Structure 1
């Protein structure tokens, strides 16, 4: 057991101190966004909004996320990732505190739009910082560490949020959210100041290529939107399926989702470290992760046995553990040839778009077509994602061959 534990710890070795600090800041930030899981309840119970109103608020939430990610990428390329992260965290903290004082429908829509616009400016800047603070061979594991921090934050946040609501009311959530963002800012200023930190992979491109002109990256982004729409069903329509079809209680659903978080925490880093030693390409691994995720839906229609939901969750979890770190690493690698902020902003936007359409589309399909037909459609979307990733793999292979031929011709000359 001791040897197994030591081997697990060894998978974290080699990561820079700056990456560890970035993970801690991300953990504080994500644990702090505890108001988000309770947002619908707050709007209905405290502000007496209708379900339709809540839907519009969530649309404003998603729109703010998309524009914030885009703006964060632009600003990162102009003023640098450090300043964007500092300003984003500090302003997000102040805006979260102010949000509790907005009680009308229009004001709250505008408020949540501004909160998400400022908050999601942080994401592309953080990815560029992560790339700079990681050695090229450690980038995928660095991404995995950040994912662990995000998962821990999302796990701890709602639990802490529930306690705060019980003891302090909903207003306490906004204060704690705001204060944790400000604390994360203070930590960031003290430990990641450019004057005291060193970059391990400082990429400077003289004639940066626009991400919009990178055909391979555009194919990749479309595939990620489809993957995101499928993946997000596990946090919107799937809990309804567990309850309505398999008669799971909230406690049962919590345990099943908890299994997902535990497996990611326990297995993802060793799994990624092992996969990095294989001959598989990043695109090949992302493709495999998408296949596993697609299978997790189709398997639900194969049997009424309750055990299939556990098998489905395991397939999705392993698909997620493989696809997300390597897709992020792929985006960071492509970003080296162009405007890094723009590349990482578009990567973030792909999942913001999936959030905007995924939840609503899934709910509408379940309501109009039923669960079985919804899972067939999501499987088809996953298959389309796999097809695009296969096309991407072939495209990159042909580009590499063309490059090798040109290099050989130069040598002959």
Structure 2
């Protein structure tokens, strides 16, 4: 037991203090984003919108995320990651406080589009900042550490949000979300100001950067990653419905199974990534392995009606997530050295925005028209297609390395 604990602690060693501060800022920001899990309830219970109207509001939310990721990538290259993150945190905080006073359908659509666009301009900038504050050999673990902070924040946020709704009401969520964003910005000024923080990245961006849109290998990689995101978001939309309608599970049991995902990530992800970094798997191969595991988790649901298969499926899907996301992030950061880092990471963030825009709705339509079993087969096929795309990426990357440089 003592050795396991020591190995767990060792997986955090070597990370710079700047990465720890960035993780704290991320934790505060994500814990504060407690409006999001309760958004559909707020819109239906408090503002009395129909489900159709809520669907369009969520679409405007997704489109705002897509636009914000693109804009954040562009601006990070123009004025730098620090200014973008700081501006985003403060403006997001103010926007959260103001948005509670909009109550009509169109004003909500427009205001949520603007809110998430402002918030998500920081996503590419966070990746660039993380690259700057990490030594090359620590990048994947640093990315994993930030993911840990994000997952911990998302776990704490809904619990605190439920307490706030019960004691203060929905308006309290907006005030707390806004204030926590501003607090995160103030901490950033104090700890990560360019005059204080050290830039540890010794890898240099090439002098004649290329556009990510012209990097065919990167585009193929992002298509594969978007397919992975499309599949994985089913665990937060169609899978809970499957648990309830097919296996007749209660909301409490469903919540416990979903909570297993966050618990496994918190306990296992850092040591797992530290171990995998020592193996001979490349970053692309690791993403492929994660993709395959997630696909298998859906196929398992076709094997048996046994309750335990749901637990096994969640564990395998979480294992796939823990492998694919950190190494996918690391590959994108490494690839961004070929060109404009902000634009590269902006496009990377956009691939997941697309997965959220289309994944939830398409998954719902699929199971409605063809049933759950055919839906899971479709997800397995997408995993296979994504894996083939990653094989192509691996071959192209190998060929690039073998071309002699002038």
TM-score, normalised with respect to structure 1: 0.97
Structure 1 equivalent of residue 50 of structure 2: 50
Structure 2 equivalent of residue 98 of structure 1: 98
Shift in Å at residue 367 of structure 1? 1.2
Q: What does the per-residue CA deviation read over 1:276-310, in whole Å, with 9 as the maximum and x for residues that have no partner?
A: 01111000010000000000001101111111111
Q: Which piece of structure 1 moves more, 1-10 or 299-308?
A: 1-10
Say whether 1:382 aligns with 2:373. Answer: no
Q: What does the per-residue CA deviation read over 1:315-364, in whole Å, with 9 as the maximum and x for residues that have no partner?
A: 10100000000000000000011000000001100000000000000111
Alignment of 1:207-222 (within 5 A): 207-222=208-223
Say whether 1:187 aligns with 2:158. Answer: no
State the secondary structure of the residue aligned to 1:232.
Answer: helix
Structure 1 equivalent of residue 319 of structure 2: 318
Alignment of 1:150-169 (within 5 A): 150-169=150-169
Q: What does the per-residue CA deviation read over 1:46-104, in whole Å, with 9 as the maximum and x for residues that have no partner?
A: 11101110000000000000000000010000000000000000000000011100000
Distance 2:8 2:310 in 1: 28
State the secondary structure of the residue aligned to 1:37.
Answer: helix
Say whether 1:294 aligns with 2:308. Answer: no
Shift in Å at residue 204 of structure 1? 3.9
Q: Which piece of structure 1 moves more, 199-208 or 283-292?
A: 199-208
Distance 2:201 2:87 in 1: 24
Distance 1:103 1:37 in 2: 19
Distance 1:189 1:337 in 2: 30
Distance 1:257 1:51 in 2: 24
State the secondary structure of the residue aligned to 2:36.
Answer: coil
Distance 1:12 1:92 in 2: 30
Q: Which piece of structure 1 moves more, 84-93 or 203-212?
A: 203-212
Distance 1:325 1:100 in 2: 35
Distance 1:280 1:155 in 2: 31
Distance 1:290 1:204 in 2: 29
Distance 2:7 2:289 in 1: 25
Structure 2 equivalent of residue 79 of structure 1: 79
Structure 2 equivalent of residue 120 of structure 1: 120
Long gaps (5+) in structure 1: none
Distance 1:190 1:253 in 2: 41
Distance 1:84 1:273 in 2: 31
Structure 2 equivalent of residue 363 of structure 1: 364
Distance 2:176 2:163 in 1: 12
Q: Which piece of structure 1 moves more, 301-310 or 227-236?
A: 301-310
Shift in Å at residue 254 of structure 1? 1.2
Shift in Å at residue 256 of structure 1? 0.8
Structure 1 equivalent of residue 271 of structure 2: 270
Structure 2 equivalent of residue 149 of structure 1: 149
Structure 2 equivalent of residue 28 of structure 1: 28
- Aligned residue pairs: how many? 405
Structure 2 equivalent of residue 62 of structure 1: 62
State the secondary structure of the residue aligned to 2:90.
Answer: helix
Alignment of 1:225-240 (within 5 A): 225-240=226-241
Shift in Å at residue 218 of structure 1? 0.2
TM-score, normalised with respect to structure 2: 0.99
Shift in Å at residue 193 of structure 1? 0.1
Alignment of 1:120-139 (within 5 A): 120-139=120-139
